[in-house]
Amino acid sequence: MDGQAPGSPQGPWGPGGQAPPPEQGLPGCYRHPDRETGISCTRCERPICPECMVDASVGFHCPDCARGPSGGARLAPPAWQPRTLAGGVVSADPRLVTKILIGINLVFFLVQFAVGDRFTERFELIGQAYVPGLGSVEGIAEGQWYRLLTAMFLHGSVMHIAFNMLSLWWLGGPLETALGRARYLALYFCSGLAGSALSYLIAEPNQPSLGASGAIFGLFGATAALVRRLNADMRPVVVLLAINLVFTFSPGFNIAWQAHIGGLVAGVLIGYAMLHAPRERRAAVQYGACALVLVAVVVLTLVRTAQLT
């Protein structure tokens, strides 16, 4: 008859008759404990999340090991530098570019206030129209392509610039931190130019428009991509975006909705490309998306110019 050998009791759970230890989840990143990860530093073996991973010749290093004396000697620059979620270089002041953009917008607004309408009429976005203050036919169709860019830094009132700059501060800071300075700048300008191009294409040629709203809506789109990338709650972003879109299409506010939609679409596309690009060809995908948006801007501008001339 089969039986248990003396001194080796067998139970329903295995040797010793004891249940195995319960399953445990993945450890949390040593810098972000709320983020579970299965990756660890090949040098100190601490768990690290994707945001903290630094490429090494073998595996990944944590930021602390990568910055260390031996880490700097063994890793080829600039791979040893800590990287943002999108692969950018981590900077000491993650909001520096956002502060500079706000400063530029404020300087332009002060110049508008000091010089008067003549300055605004010279640099606002207008397709093609006779401008009495300048005494000539002005517009992008007349070869003034710079208006696609300069209009992004002009505002029509204190309320207009205050709302846009608050939005830039709230949205820009987290995005600059996640993307890095170069990618953040590319997102901002590509979104703003996309908004200007769509406004030029669809709006009446004699209808002037101005403001940073196209770029701001691009930041909205990229913020949605960032929240998605972090698997965070999308509802606050959706609600805030919906409120802004209601104002955009409300007839009483006289808003250039074309710039908002153009910037939003560009921001979603670029933001998704930057935050979901595969690591092995990340830069090519990220800046390739920016290049495609710029190509679309040029094509839309050429088409509209041909229509008007």
| Cis previous bond, 208, omega within 30 | no
Condensed to tens digits (0 to 9), the pLDDT of residues 40-99 reads 887 788 888 888 888 776 678 888 887 765 444 444 444 456 778 888 888 888 899 999
- Residue 181 in contact with residue 189, Cβ under 8 Å? no
Exactly one of 32, 61, 260, 276 is catalytic; which is it? 260
Q: Which residue's entry shows tokens 């698997």?
A: 231
Q: What is the DSSP string of 122-154?
A: HHSB-SSEEETTTTEEESGGGT-TTHHHHGGG-
Residues paired with residue 209 on neighbouring β-strands, in sequence order:
125
Domain check: are 105 and 55 in the same one?
A: no
Condensed to tens digits (0 to 9), the pLDDT of residues 251-281 reads 766 778 899 999 999 999 999 999 998 888 8
Please count the structural domains in the chain. 2
Domain check: are 128 and 244 in the same one?
A: yes
Cα separation, 224 vs 198, whole angstroms: 21
- Check which CATH number belongs to the domain holding 164 and give it: 1.20.1540.10
Q: Is 67 helix (H, G, I), strand (E, B) or coil?
A: helix
Domain check: are 117 and 179 in the same one?
A: yes
Residue 207 within any structural domain of the chain: yes
Cα separation, 109 vs 112, whole angstroms: 5
Q: Strand ranges (DSSP E) for the chain? A: 10-11, 14-15, 54-55, 60-61, 129-131, 136-138
260 is catalytic: yes
Exactly one of 167, 199, 209, 213 is catalytic; which is it? 213
Condensed to tens digits (0 to 9), the pLDDT of residues 192-220 reads 999 999 999 999 999 999 999 999 999 99
Which whole-number Å values give the CA distances from 233 to 172, 225, 236, in the listed order? 19, 12, 7
32 is catalytic: no
Question: Which range marks the domain in which residue 218 is found?
Answer: 96-308
Domain check: are 40 and 121 in the same one?
A: no
